[in-house]
């Protein structure tokens, strides 16, 4: 026996968190009955369906690194008709992104059909560092760096300790390297605005030990066995 949302993640339907949303929305049935209880457990032989389509465990787990360009949404489907990650990655398995990058942010994003690995990447307690390169308006002062790294109050919460360092100065702007392990919506942009240095461009270059390297914008690759092991 296993919890329904865990089974759905193992089938590659979605992450556990997203699976819970699908269950709450009444889109999941077990043996013909709609299930809304998050503690519901499925047994071997139960027929689980999402939107009327059977869910079966994926026979092959895939793990993909993509260099997302600006102008793509970090989903597999968009109601507004914008370009999505699946316009860039074509595999037979049903995959979904681990976390997100903003529409106007580029760089490394991971995709998989392995729901078990989702929290290993995005949950703050796992403390997987995410490194970004940003072009910001203005030049950082020591006081601003200290405030950024010690935590900033944004929309009712205080950000976790982070790192920011100047890589080079270009006229009145600066290229900086930022390291965080949280993943709140538009967090880096909000943090930079808080200290008076709005972001001009933003690119993620690594997640934990996985680096974007020479992967061109819009291109993807399978993770190596070593990289998958490091995520797990």
Residues tagged active-site? 102
The rounded distance, in Å, linking the Cα atoms of 8 and 16 is 7
**Counts for the chain of helices (H) and strands (E), in that order:** 6, 17
Q: What DSSP string describes 97-108?
A: EES---TT-EEE
Residue from 184, 189, 193 nearest 160 by CA: 184
195 touches 150 (CB < 8 A): no
Residue 49 tokens read as: 């369906």
**CA separation (Å) from 106 to 37, 138, 145, 152, 166?**
38, 21, 24, 24, 19
């Amino acid at each position: 026996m296993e919890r329904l949302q865990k089974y759905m993640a193992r089938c590659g339907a979605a992450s556990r968190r997203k699976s819970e949303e699908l269950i709450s929305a009444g889109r999941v049935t077990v043996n013909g009955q709609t299930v809304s209880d998050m503690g519901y457990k499925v047994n071997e032989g139960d027929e689980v369906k999402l939107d009327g389509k059977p869910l079966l465990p994926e026979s092959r787990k895939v793990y993909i690194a993509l260099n997302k360009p600006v102008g793509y949404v970090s989903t597999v489907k968009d109601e507004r008709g914008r370009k999505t990650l699946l316009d860039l990655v074509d595999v037979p398995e049903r995959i979904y992104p681990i976390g997100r990058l903003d529409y106007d942010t580029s760089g490394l994003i991971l995709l998989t059909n392995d729901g078990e690995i989702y929290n290993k990447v995005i949950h703050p307690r796992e403390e997987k560092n995410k490194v970004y390169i940003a072009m910001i308006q203005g030049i950082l002062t020591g006081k601003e760096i200290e405030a950024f790294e010690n935590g900033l109050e944004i929309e009712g919460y205080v950000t976790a300790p982070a790192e920011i360092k100047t890589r080079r100065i270009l006229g009145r702007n600066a290229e900086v390297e930022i390291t965080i392990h949280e993943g709140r919506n538009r967090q880096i942009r909000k943090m930079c605005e808080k200290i008076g240095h709005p972001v001009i461009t933003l690119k993620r270059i690594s997640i934990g030990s996985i680096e974007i390297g020479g992967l061109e914008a819009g291109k993807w690759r399978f993770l190596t066995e070593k990289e998958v092991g490091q995520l797990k």
